[in-house]
Structure 1
Amino acid sequence: MAGGVGAQIVGRHIYGNLYGCEQQILKDEAALITIVKEAAKVANAILLSIGSYRFGPEGGLTVFAVVAESHISIHTWPEHGFATVDVYTCGDHTDPKAAFDYIVSKLKPRKVEAFFGDRSMYRE
């Protein structure tokens, strides 16, 4: 991800849709929290806080980490084997793609759609 080269403020955003994930991992709150914590380390981001919310007893989960550099989130729909992942970091010392790839490796989807955004500020 080349975003940020020559930028005054570096912001890189990778987000995507994960299809065909195993339902069990998408329901496992403790596992998803661990995955997000590890993803913050992989990104070289500073974890400030982490939270989660379950949508009903068998429903999906949202796991959200606030990192000093921005955020990491996973939203799951176990009944569809579907998850969305969002990793946004500021600073050229972070690697949001590495965090995204780490999460993908743990959720093991059959198909991934990934999108990149350069959210840097350049001098005019």
Structure 2
Amino acid sequence: MHGLHLTADLFDCTCEQRWLTDADAVLARCVALVQAAGLQPVAQLAHRFPDSPHGPGGITATVLLAESHLCVHTWPETCSATLDVYVCNFGADHSAKAQALRDSVVALFLPQRLHAHALHRGQAPSPD
């Protein structure tokens, strides 16, 4: 087992409001970005949370990948979002594709501040 888990916390997003509240639009864009990065979507799910006294409800959009997953969560009341991209590198190294995917999803939200992290998971295969 060997993989790369990329995360990003996006603050003060200046994107159109629909990218923070329209679960179907975000999911469709995420699927397109997954494919553009050269990864393989195998399932998808989106959910919009109800409005609250603080403002419109946020969304969660998840794309299950043959390589693992992409997940996006939004908080429109604070113009923020989080995302994670995890790829298993079994059989091939998908790290560059994961980084391209994370960067393209970040660009969708136009954050003014960003905290990004990378976690290398599992053990790299040992040479024979």
**Shorter-normalised TM range:** 0.7 to 0.9
User: How large is the Cα RMSD of the aligned pairs?
Assistant: 1.8
Give the TM-score normalised by the residue count of structure 2. Answer: 0.82
1:31 alignment counterpart: 25
Structure 1 runs (4+) deviating above 4 angstroms are: none
Q: Retained in 1: the 8 A contact 2:60–2:73?
A: yes
Q: Retained in 1: the 8 A contact 2:68–2:86?
A: yes
SS of 1:65's partner is: strand
The alignment of Structure 1 onto Structure 2 pairs a total of residues equal to: 116
1:40 alignment counterpart: 34
Paired with 1:102 and 1:23, the residues of 2 have a C-alpha distance of: 16
Q: CA deviation at 1:46?
A: 1.0
What 5-or-longer segments of structure 1 have no aligned partner? 1-8
Give the TM-score normalised by the residue count of structure 1. Answer: 0.84
The 5 A counterparts of 1:1-124 are 9-21=1-13, 22=15, 24=17, 25-57=19-51, 58-91=56-89, 92-93=93-94, 95-122=97-124, 123=126
Identity of aligned residues (%): 32
SS of 2:69's partner is: strand
Q: Retained in 2: the 8 A contact 1:18–1:82?
A: yes
